[in-house]
Structure 1
Amino acid sequence: MSPSPRASAPRLPGGPLIAFYGDDYTGSSAVMEVLSFAGLPTVLFLGPPTSAQLARFNDMRAIGIAGVARSQPPEWMDAQLPPIFEQLARLKAPINHYKVCSTFDSAPHVGSIGRAAEIGERLLGGAWHPLIVGAPAIARYQAFGNLFACIDGTGYRLDRHPVMARHPVTPMNEADVRLHLSRQTDMPVGLVDFVAMKTGRAEQQLAAERAAGARLLALDVLDDETLAEAGRLVWEHRGARLFALGSQGLEYALVAYWRRAGLLAAEVPTPAPARTERIAVVSGSCSPITAAQIRHALDHGFGGVRLDATRAVEAGAWAAEVTRGAAAALNVLEAGQDPLVFTASGPDDPAVPALGQAIDAAGVAPSLVNARIGDGLGRVLDEVVRRAGLTRAIISGGDTSGHAGMALGIYAVTALAPLAPGSPLCRAYAEGAHDGLEIAFKGGQMGRPDFFSAAKGGATNH
């Protein structure tokens, strides 16, 4: 009698595993980073792709669309998100993900995660909707529904966080993600806490919360064990398809579980970024972390060019300021330095309240001005990269990255190498001059003080 055939090893299903929309560009590239460097090729489109563009990447295991929903009102979401979610649904991935910032940047009037959840539930389906925000790899932790984030090794509850408690657009005054979401949606929000996850009771708590009517289920993540357990709950309870919300913590969780279950290789070689001779940086971030990075860069060979953001309240004045900024940045390159074009250096920069006062005096919508600033920074970068023939660039600031990226005419990126967690170096795909450009979208709170120098020198910035 011939021996019975060996049972085949478990495998992940073919085709795209995850389809995602990111509510800002930096967060979207963070999802791509997690998956790509785990051995799951991922493409990120910087807007809804055409059929031809999608066909160019038909071997990808994850497909994402980066957006700017984080800086938009609910009415914008009602108009813009449905066709994007419908396009994601056509990819037929088992997991659809609405990616939000790991510090949960949102409010009822801008970047509403609750409104996105309502739209996604209707169009992307699923019997329940996991919410995973914690991600130990980037020092984000959730315990009993409360979100914590670290700066320089010190953890803060989000409503006491030095950055998020003072965020100029979406200041966080509630660390419990359930309560925070309850201000944005009437969808019932439940919790599977870390105690249940570490004592083998996660299944029971998940079932109990769903039986009680919860449709959004926040999953605590504190360490590698709870991370993998969160991934297991999502994957094993995905049904025919599942709509999830959260940071790149969702992808970290799925990768952790897939590795634990033998569905994914435990180690994948990570490429190292190469050094480049010249780099250009634009920043619209008001974060103190970015401020430290700006100070470090200016002390180490970068030349600063400040744009007067108050001029963005009027289109003509801002166009002139953008032209001036591009010329100044090119002069910096001529002088042998790397240009760093910025609108503010931290939340205490006088430019921050000055912009608010200018917006109030002009009576214009802050979202319009913020979009104009981001677009202007992108046009500065476009001019500098094209005229100087640069091969690498950085855009800093979550909201800034979206508008600046669109101004560059890039339609997609893939991950090349890690720079800092959440901010990989990417390869740009464009119809014109910027095809092949190496670019990173850096969130305001990401990276060490030497991030910009390290991005030039080819060092990983952990």
Structure 2
Amino acid sequence: MTISAPSTAWPDGLLLAYYGDDFTGSTDAMEAMTAAGVPTVLFLTPPTAAMLARFPDVRCIGLAGSSRGRSPAWMKEHLPALFARLAALGAPILQYKVCSTFDSSAETGSIGCAIDLGVRHMPGLWSPMIVGAPRLKRYQVFGNLFAAVDGVGHRLDRHPTMAHHPVTPMGEADLRLHLGQQTARRIALIDMVVLQQGSETADAVLSTRAGADTPVVLIDVLDDATLLAAGRLLWEQRGEGVFSASSSGLQYALAAYWRALGLLPQQAGLPTAESVAAIAVVSGSCSPVTAGQIRWARENGFHTERLVLDRALNPSMRDAEINRVVDSASAAIQRGISAVVYSAEGPNDASVLGFDAMAATAKLSRADAARSVGTALAEVMRRLLDQADLQRIVVAGGDSSGEVASALDISALSVIAGLAPGAPLCRVWSDNPRRDGLQIVLKGGQIGGDGFFGEVVAGRPINT
């Protein structure tokens, strides 16, 4: 492939357009760009010309999706049109934004399927993949993905959560092998040794990897130096445009390189928010991280209320169960007490261990039952907003975030303040005046410390 000289200026128009495979990951990518100084907006439906006109200075556009929990058949039906809409916006990089823990399998959330569909919409001779994101404690070394928990690094196939994920357990940390179970496409690697040898070596190696078959080329990221090198390689070798299935590591890498070129300010960051009297939280996350946050909330004055799943999945009991938790949470909020409504408290919760049996009793598939829980939590939040005077809300769990955001008449989101990395405080844009201006946090299961919900109330980190 042709090796281009470094660019010292941005091209006109959009720099990046991305589809997020879940809602929390979509806001993570938006946060990374906004914090770096790149104006970014996340849409919940493909933006119309009128919607885009509301954001004349935007340089990065995201579209929040739900493909992480979908089948390849669903992807083949829905993703091509969405990719085409995003590609038509003219950005030189079209990204399929994936989780930094690479949640996927051949049957559910297939990243390989998404790549096979997406590369058709961009002319590039390679499909770069950046997954490592040191800010999020995610590291890729010689193609293997690692994540740190409580200061301890774990290979993903030995990670305390991802190795036992209920839907997409990680059985292989080498992303070449894991992805190879999802696509027949050629998969190559630019490893950290190549990156450390400098740009000429990396460009030369890439020229031997790229080709008319548009291979996936993973790029190692271990630290700030390899992050910068990965961003340089992607940006300078984008050619006429590339499709990239990557985590927000792509955003961090591009920002690092643009900063090195002087195109972005050296001191990036997000403002802190003012505190609020009380918040409402709904959680569909089964993560032990979120379980710790629920326990912290209970021990620190929050009202916590469990959504009883066998009732929520029973059509004759569903509305009454939703009303029960809404009335309880609303009464707390009206007294100035923050409320958390949750469906599970960690991976060993009885509602998780017994979920298949509850789904079978309700005559639902596991996927349909999970979606039903998400829509129940969405209805809880919708009714809470109608009953209580709320300025700020939180949704925990990627699938739950998608269901809730879709139920609240949200057209778009923009970042207004930072909290934990990967979970910013966002402003809601909506044609519904009751929703426009609402502040929302969409939090992935693995994001934040124990006191995260307290931080959302305070608008800043707190000592936990």
TM-score range, shorter chain: over 0.9
TM-fit CA distance, 1:354: 1.5
| 1:145 aligned to which of 143, 153, 178 | 143
Verify: 1:440 aligned to 2:441, yes or no.
yes
Distance 2:330 2:160 in 1: 35
CA contact (8 A) 1:420 1:447 kept: yes
Summarize deviations over 1:161-182 as a string: whole Å, max 9, x none: 0010111111111101111111
**Which residues of 2 match residues 111-260 of structure 1 at below 5 A?**
111-200=109-198, 201-210=201-210, 215-260=215-260
TM-fit CA distance, 1:361: 4.1
Distance 1:155 1:336 in 2: 40
3-state DSSP class of the match of 1:410? coil
Distance 1:264 1:11 in 2: 11
TM-fit CA distance, 1:278: 1.1
Partner of 1:295: 295
Partner of 1:332: 332
Distance 2:321 2:299 in 1: 25
Distance 2:211 2:107 in 1: 31
TM-fit CA distance, 1:309: 2.1
Q: Which runs of 5+ in 1 are unaligned?
A: 1-8
3-state DSSP class of the match of 1:389? coil
Verify: 1:345 aligned to 2:340, yes or no.
no
Please provide the CA RMSD for this pair: 1.7
255-264 vs 216-225, which moves further: 255-264
| 1:27 aligned to which of 21, 25, 33 | 25
Distance 1:367 1:124 in 2: 32
CA contact (8 A) 1:377 1:404 kept: yes
CA contact (8 A) 1:36 1:42 kept: yes
Amino acid at match of 1:128: W
CA contact (8 A) 1:189 1:214 kept: no
Distance 1:148 1:461 in 2: 28
Distance 1:251 1:230 in 2: 11
Partner of 1:458: 459
Distance 1:240 1:214 in 2: 13
Partner of 2:283: 283
Distance 1:318 1:48 in 2: 32
TM-fit CA distance, 1:209: 2.3
CA contact (8 A) 1:322 1:379 kept: yes
Partner of 1:4: none
Partner of 1:323: 323
Distance 1:319 1:215 in 2: 50
Tell me the TM-score normalised to structure 1 length: 0.95
Partner of 2:37: 39
Aligned length: 454
Partner of 1:6: none
CA contact (8 A) 1:135 1:221 kept: yes
Summarize deviations over 1:401-453 as a string: whole Å, max 9, x none: 01111011211100001111000000001121111001010000000110000
| Structure 1 residues 386 and 363: alpha-carbon distance in aligned structure 2, compared to 1, 3 A threshold | closer
Summarize deviations over 1:263-322 as a string: whole Å, max 9, x none: 222123531111011111010000000000110011111111100223344444333322
Distance 2:333 2:216 in 1: 50
TM-fit CA distance, 1:362: 4.0
Tell me the TM-score normalised to structure 2 length: 0.94
How much identity, in percent, do the aligned residues show?
47
Verify: 1:377 aligned to 2:377, yes or no.
yes
CA contact (8 A) 2:123 2:242 kept: yes
TM-fit CA distance, 1:214: 6.4
Distance 1:288 1:269 in 2: 28
Distance 1:312 1:118 in 2: 38
CA contact (8 A) 1:281 1:395 kept: yes
| Structure 1 residues 315 and 90: alpha-carbon distance in aligned structure 2, compared to 1, 3 A threshold | farther
Amino acid at match of 2:139: Y
Amino acid at match of 1:36: T
78-87 vs 365-374, which moves further: 365-374
Q: Which runs of 5+ in 2 are unaligned?
A: 1-6
Distance 1:45 1:136 in 2: 26
